[in-house]
């Protein structure tokens, strides 16, 4: 258990836990506007060959080591190591809370919450909705509570931002009793979209109340229609499989394909899960890689076809979301591919020329904040996302509110 001192500036630990890795960041500051990222890193190879890596804000390596062969520490032990390591690297700051990215909040959790036994019990009921993600999010919360029980923990949900959508954006055309049981569209990447919704008015104040499509394009990819900074519609639905093709996920697919595979090819649920989550998308189409950088650098026709398929679907969804919210005042690219792929942005913009979208090649290559031409009827922006900062901000706000209530 940690011996972190209770003096100095406040520090907030942000955790994004996966099946075999745990990414973390540390923010310091006494107010939302003052939050500063000071450390980031990850524990990879959990369950096989764990490795601990950490860097400071200048990307200087602070730690990089693994465990001896034969050692296989569990999550609690690894988190204990992280907490103890932070004790010597926070330079007088006090770790006051931890915030977790939790993929699914269902219909119950529409905002960040302080973790309690009741909240944990509620999260357990959501595992069937996100079986590949939710268990690992929960496991990290439980493991941290085991090694540092006095540390407040906050759960921040990737689905919460989309709770503002109208019912028609959330509802499948299926029997109402299934909808009532929770079979509906939830949407994901909400923490990223929430960050962009806060950042966009600073970048372009005239768009604060506008109709904006945000393209969160990475290994996992989705788009969100935002009106006045609120989610109106999004491409992901009941799971993170729907919408545009992704690194290893197919995006929208005719459900009849799955029935065909079950009847004619003998696929079971596990086979379909493996196909849809791990073997499809850019990897499946190209047969080369799930990484857009590899595909752009390849001279293989299948790689070019994969890139074209991706851009085609992104452009199609931009147009569909514009129709869903009744207008289009701006397009924003964000996340790994959206922020870094000059080619993808250019191709998508070309396919949206009929909407008045025109991108300046020089600005696009330079990754300028605004990459559209002055003649473009629809401005186009690159705004880097920061989900970790969003989680840290929520954690600070919630813990501060609880402290004020107790003081009162």
Per the domain annotation, does 176 fall within a domain? Answer: no
264 and 151 within one domain? no
Tell whether the model's pLDDT for residue 31 goes beyond 70: no
Nearest to 155 by CA among 201, 208, 117, 203: 117
SS (H, E, C) the chain: CCCCCCCCCEEEEEEEECCCCEEEEEEECCCHHHCEEEEEEEEECCCCCCEEEEEECCCCEEEEEECCCCCCCCHHHHHHHHHHHHHCCCCCCEEEEEEEEECCCCCCCCCCEECCHHHHHHHHCCHHHCCCCHHHHHHHHHHHHHHCCCCCEEEEECCHHHHHCCHHHHCCCCCHHHHHCCCCCCCCCHHHHHHHHHHHHHHCHHHCCCEEEEEEECCCEEEEEEECCEEEEECCCCCCCCCCCCCCCCCCCCHHHHHHHHHHHCCCHHHHHHHHHHCCHHHHHHCCCCCHHHHHHCCCHHHHHHHHHHHHHHHHHHHHHHHHHCCCCEEEEEHHHHHHCHHHHHHHHHHCHHHCCCECHHHHHCCCCECECCCCCCCEEECCCCHHHHHHHHHHHHHHHHHHHHHC
364 and 264 within one domain? yes
Per the domain annotation, does 393 fall within a domain? Answer: no
- Tell me the pTM: 0.94
254 and 122 within one domain? no
Tell whether the model's pLDDT for residue 5 goes beyond 60: no
pLDDT of residue 8: 67
In the chain, pLDDT over 90 holds for what percent of residues? 86
350 and 268 within one domain? yes
pLDDT of residue 406: 61
33 and 149 within one domain? yes
209 and 150 within one domain? no
The overall average pLDDT reported for the chain is 93
pLDDT per residue over 271-298, tens digit each? 999 999 999 999 999 999 999 999 999 9
pLDDT of residue 2: 42
pLDDT per residue over 361-382, tens digit each? 999 999 999 999 999 999 999 9
**Lowest-confidence segment of 69-83, 166-180, 223-237 by average pLDDT:** 69-83
209 and 153 within one domain? no
* Domain final position from 157, 180, 196: 157
339 and 226 within one domain? yes
CATH of the domain at 136: 3.30.420.40
Per the domain annotation, does 166 fall within a domain? Answer: no
Per the domain annotation, does 197 fall within a domain? Answer: no
Confidence of residue 1 (pLDDT cuts 50, 70, 90): very low
Per the domain annotation, does 362 fall within a domain? Answer: yes
Per the domain annotation, does 59 fall within a domain? Answer: yes
pLDDT of residue 132: 87
Average pLDDT over residues 51-56: 95
**Could you say which of 56, 74, 158, 254 is catalytic?**
158
307 and 213 within one domain? yes
Per the domain annotation, does 381 fall within a domain? Answer: yes
Confidence of residue 403 (pLDDT cuts 50, 70, 90): low
375 and 227 within one domain? yes
Structural domain tally of the chain? 2
* Domain final position from 124, 157, 190: 157
In the chain, pLDDT over 70 holds for what percent of residues? 96
Average pLDDT over residues 27-53: 88
Clarify whether 158 is annotated catalytic.
Answer: yes
Per the domain annotation, does 132 fall within a domain? Answer: yes
Confidence of residue 34 (pLDDT cuts 50, 70, 90): confident
Q: State the residue range of the domain holding 227.
A: 205-387
236 and 373 within one domain? yes
pLDDT of residue 407: 54
pLDDT per residue over 106-162, tens digit each? 999 999 999 999 999 999 999 999 888 999 999 999 999 999 999 999 999 999 999
220 and 149 within one domain? no
């Amino acid at each position: 258990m940690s011996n972190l001192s209770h003096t100095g500036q406040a520090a907030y630990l942000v955790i994004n836990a996966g099946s075999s890795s745990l990414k973390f960041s540390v923010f310091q500051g006494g107010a939302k506007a003052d939050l500063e990222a000071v450390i980031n890193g990850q524990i990879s190879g959990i369950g096989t060959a764990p490795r601990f890596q950490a860097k400071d804000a200048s990307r200087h390596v602070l730690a990089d080591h693994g465990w001896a062969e034969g050692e296989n520490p569990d999550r609690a032990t690894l988190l204990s190591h992280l907490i103890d390591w932070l004790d010597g690297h926070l330079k007088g700051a006090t770790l006051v809370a931890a915030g977790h990215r939790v993929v699914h909040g269902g219909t119950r959790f529409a905002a960040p919450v302080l973790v309690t036994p009741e909240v944990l019990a509620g999260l357990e009921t959501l595992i069937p909705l996100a079986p590949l993600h939710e268990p690992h999010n929960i496991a990290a919360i439980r493991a941290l509570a085991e090694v540092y029980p006095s540390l407040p923990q906050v759960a921040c949900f990737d689905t919460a931002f989309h709770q503002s959508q109208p019912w028609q954006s959330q509802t499948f055309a299926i029997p109402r009793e299934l909808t009532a049981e929770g079979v509906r569209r939830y949407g994901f990447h909400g923490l990223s979209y929430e960050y962009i919704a806060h950042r966009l008015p600073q970048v372009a104040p005239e768009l604060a109340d506008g109709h904006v499509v945000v393209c969160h394009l990475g290994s996992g990819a989705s788009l969100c229609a935002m009106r006045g900074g609120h989610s109106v519609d999004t491409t992901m639905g009941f799971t993170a499989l729907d919408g545009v093709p992704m690194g290893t996920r197919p995006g929208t697919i005719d459900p009849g394909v799955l029935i065909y595979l079950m009847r004619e090819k003998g696929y079971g649920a596990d086979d379909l899960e493996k196909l849809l989550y791990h073997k499809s998308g850019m990897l499946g189409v190209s047969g080369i890689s799930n990484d857009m950088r590899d595909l752009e650098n390849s001279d293989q026709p299948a790689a070019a076809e994969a890139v074209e398929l991706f851009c085609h679907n992104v452009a199609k969804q931009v147009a569909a979301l514009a129709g869903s919210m009744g207008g289009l005042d701006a397009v924003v690219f964000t996340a790994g591919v959206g922020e870094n792929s000059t080619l993808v942005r250019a191709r998508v913009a070309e396919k949206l020329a009929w909407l008045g979208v025109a991108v300046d090649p020089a600005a696009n290559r330079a990754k300028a904040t605004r990459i559209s031409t002055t003649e473009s009827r629809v401005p186009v922006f690159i705004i880097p996302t920061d989900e970790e900062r969003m989680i840290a901000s929520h954690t600070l706000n919630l813990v501060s509110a609880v402290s004020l209530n107790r003081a009162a």
